[in-house]
Structure 1
């Protein structure tokens, strides 16, 4: 289980987005400790405009983890990235319906056309 800390505040939609991505992209189960920054003046000063901020057990922080490429890179650096899930998500983000390994495919107006050989 991967212990992570999420610095957040009530109603933060970007924090919810980060949590969803984390659950999708992480290759192992996560133990997520949520820290409410609004209850601590020092945390408010440190994180107010940076949330959501994700931190590992070494204290290494990730700002803007709701951006999938940033989160994927951060997870990969630690060996926690589910590569297949990341590949599938990249295809979705790029409007592709199938993985990129398909050879001879061409995208035109958001549709995939396969070559005739």
Structure 2
């Protein structure tokens, strides 16, 4: 599972989310493989990620990818984080 930490009205977060969804679509990964976590709902997350968002986190390993990142960065990150690719339901 992949998590994106974000907050509302963050244009960089929206851009990052769109990049991940585009990567998933191009590689046959189910969109529900991405969990979105609003950091404003949690004081600890807000303190940890407030100036770093958007941040991707591979739940299996705990590895994180901080913004800025592109499609190549996402591919490299997932390949090196033991991200198991759940297939799309066809």
Q: Same fold (TM over 0.5)?
A: yes
* Bigger RCO (CA 8 Å, 6+ sep): 2
Provide the C-alpha distance between the structure 1 equivalents of 2:6 and 2:48, rounded to a whole number of angstroms: 12
- 2:37 is paired with a residue whose SS is strand
Residue matched to 1:37:
39
Select 2:17's aligned residue among 12, 15, 19. 19
Provide the C-alpha distance between the structure 2 equivalents of 1:56 and 1:22, rounded to a whole number of angstroms: 13
| Gap regions ≥5 residues in structure 1 | 81-117
Q: TM-score, normalised by structure 2?
A: 0.70
List structure 1 runs of 4+ shifted beyond 6 angstroms: none
Residue matched to 1:74:
77
Provide the C-alpha distance between the structure 1 equivalents of 2:10 and 2:71, rounded to a whole number of angstroms: 17
Q: Is the 8 A contact 2:58 2:78 kept in 1?
A: no
Superposition CA RMSD, Å? 2.3
Higher helix residue share:
2
| Gap regions ≥5 residues in structure 2 | 85-90
- 1:33 is paired with a residue whose SS is strand
Question: Whose Rg is larger?
Answer: 1
1:36-115 to 2 correspondence within 5 Å? 36-58=38-60, 59-64=62-67, 66-77=69-80, 78=82
Q: TM-score, normalised by structure 1?
A: 0.56
